[in-house]
A and B are shown apart, each in its own frame.
Chain A
Amino acid sequence: MEHTLNKVFQGFYKDSVALMRLSRDLAEMAGVNEAALMMGSPSNKQILKDAGLLADDGAAAEGGDLILAVRAIDASAAQNAANAIEPQIKSQTRTTTGDTVWQPQTIRAAAKANPDANLALISVPGEFAAAEARKAISRGLHVMMFSDNVSIEDEISLKTQALEQNVLMMGPDCGTAILEGVPLAFANNVTRGDVGIVGASGTGIQEVTSLISNNGGGISHAIGVGGRDLKDEIGGISTLMGIDRLDDDAETKHIVLISKPPGKDVLPRVMKRIKQSPKPFTVCFIGATDLNLPANATAARTLKDAAQTALGGKEFEEKISSNTSSLGGRTKIRGLYSGGTLAAETQVILLDAGLEVASNAAVPGAKNLTDDGDAHQIIDLGDDQFTQGRPHPMIDPEIRKEPLADALADNNVGVILIDIVIGYGAHPDLAGQLADMLSGMQGENDPIIIASVTGTEQDPQVRSSQISALQAAGIHVAGSNADAAIAALDMLGINS
């Protein structure tokens, strides 16, 4: 009989990425139907309950306890699996960067022991992230908050506090930054140069910095601000502070802003701030129309446009050969994106070509996926509905598997668009993983797959190696995401 077993490790913390890796190993053990390892917070317990994985022991666990939950074909299979995984749970993967055994447990102690520290990089679970950030800001540290699931109220209070202390509050949900030439979290190893970036979007920053770097330019600093910074509630506090910093930075000669369209109250404030600057700006508010820009600013419709404008209007074209013969009358584009801003960029390009577009993260002019009719579908796989209790698709590309199978089987889909975002933080071999995934799925008359690789030759995964791996698997590779979208239009015979 199917059996659910919970084992609680009291006061035992492991980070969520480590736990997800262990969960996957546990789930693959003999006789196991479902498994998870989670800290015992109320929200996690609800997830376990919904998954039918919560037993009495787990229900009694506290937030600081680790719950091992396994549902297996019978009690002994559950017990065997739990026993097998336990040594891995307990093995410490401790990273000491100094030579001392003592690792501080608190920001306060770490700051005291290391008075030169100037940035706190916070990636703890969202429910604790704001409290940690508050501690960092009050000690005069800049904060990059990778954590998401932080309330907008907390974001407002943190950014207000950061403004008072004159430190940068990057995030929450800030995936990417490049400061003093150092890539932080999910960022690429780019050439240093004179283009400064303030961006509300991680993959947007990655695409623009990589394109600039790959086409002869360089980056001074890229400041992430988190996806909600330009909403009216937040008021663009970090964006404006970021512009201040880049304005004062002698190295920065050109500033690029990347975001979704700002709130209507924030927009004029940003425009006013740009106007005060002596430096030229490129403004890429993806999906925005009719921007009334000051004279020192140029609008960019896409990320690729933004990169080209920042390099003084240099065109970087990389056409890929189009072959429409095998489409067999199928007419739809399906985008399966790990990067939300790349998904948005594709929507803009499709909308500009006069197409009907639907997305789970719709830009202005696109429809919601639920009432798509027969529009082209652009799916953001980094959206909460896919990542609840799982890592982001840039870490765990398995998320793409089901939607990919659906798209391949869909007789209307002629072209599948895929983004491969490499760099620090990302999966070590996304291209190889995609090729493996496809090898078991493809049949006759499949849709054409077009991908682009965001990243550089200096990244750990090496961009050209990723491109070769994709091409070897029969995937078309474009020079940028925008080029991939345009190639899709070409292949479907639509004039962009």
Chain B
Amino acid sequence: MTSDTDQSSLLGGKLSVINVGLDKFATELADHDVPVVHLDWKPPAGGDPELAALLSKMGT
């Protein structure tokens, strides 16, 4: 997706953010006219860190 980096931009495109966590960050980005999707995040795997880690290794 981003491996062929656009030379005109550090990130290979205009900044567009997925915000995972504090909603304040999403609000501040939106104030700067940065496109942002704020996740309705919940702890993965029902809040079981061991299961969440297992899943992330399985490629979720």
Whether chains A and B associate is yes
Q: How far is the CB of A63 from chain B (nearest CB, A)?
A: 3
With A and B bound together, what is the CA distance between A179 and B37 in angstroms? 17
Interface SS of A by simple majority? loop
Restricting to A472-487, which residues have a CB under 8 Å from any CB of B?
A: none
Q: Is B37 within 8 A of A146, CB to CB? A: no
- Among the 9-residue stretches A93-101, A334-342, A461-469, the one with 4 or more Cβ atoms under 8 Å from chain B is A93-101
A128-B43 Cα distance, complex, nearest whole Å = 7
Contact A179 B16 (CB under 8 A): no
The CA-CA distance from A39 to B57 in the complex, in Å, is 24
> A107, B20: Cβ atoms under 8 Å?
yes
B5 nearest CB across to chain A (Å): 7
C-alpha spacing A141/B39, complex, angstroms: 15
- A106-B39, A166-B2 given as contacts; is B11 within 8 A of A118 (CB)? yes
Cβ contact within 8 Å between A123 and B37: no
Whose C-beta in chain A lies nearest to the C-beta of B15?
A: A180
Question: A120 near B: Cβ within 8 Å?
Answer: yes
Residues of B participating in the A interface, judged by any CB pair closer than 8 Å: 1-3, 5, 7-30, 32, 34-44, 46-49, 52-53, 55-57, 59-60
How many residues belonging to A are interface residues under a CB distance threshold of 8 Å? 71
Give chain A interface residues in 231-257, CB to chain B under 8 Å.
245-246, 248-250
Which are the 4 A-B pairs with shortest beta-carbon distances?
A63-B47, A123-B21, A64-B47, A140-B1
Binding stretch for chain B, among A82-90, A109-117, A364-372: A109-117
Q: How far is the CA of A139 from the CA of B47 in the complex (A)?
A: 23
A96 — which chain B residues lie within 8 A by C-beta?
A: 38
Residues of chain B with a CB closer than 8 A to A183's CB: 28, 32
The answer to the question of A29 belonging to the interface, with a C-beta cut-off of 8 Å to chain B, is no
Instruction: Give Cα A139 to B20, complex, Å.
Output: 15
Given contacts A104-B37, A121-B18, contact A13 B2 (CB under 8 A): no
Chain A residues positioned under 8 Å from B15 (CB to CB): 118-119, 179-180, 182
Distance between A66 CB and nearest chain B CB, rounded to angstroms:
10
Q: Is A305 an interface residue (CB 8 A)?
A: no
- A296 part of interface (Cβ distance < 8 Å): no
- Taking a contact as CB atoms closer than 8 A, the residue among B2, B18, B25, B55 that contacts A425 in the complex is B25
Structural contact, A93 and B23, CB atoms closer than 8 A: yes
* A62 pairs with B28, CB closer than 8 A: no
Q: Which of A1-9, A130-138, A412-420 contacts B (4 or more CB under 8 A)?
A: A130-138
Q: Which residues of A contact B34 (CB under 8 A)?
A: 182
Which A residues are in CB contact (< 8 Å) with B16?
114, 116-119
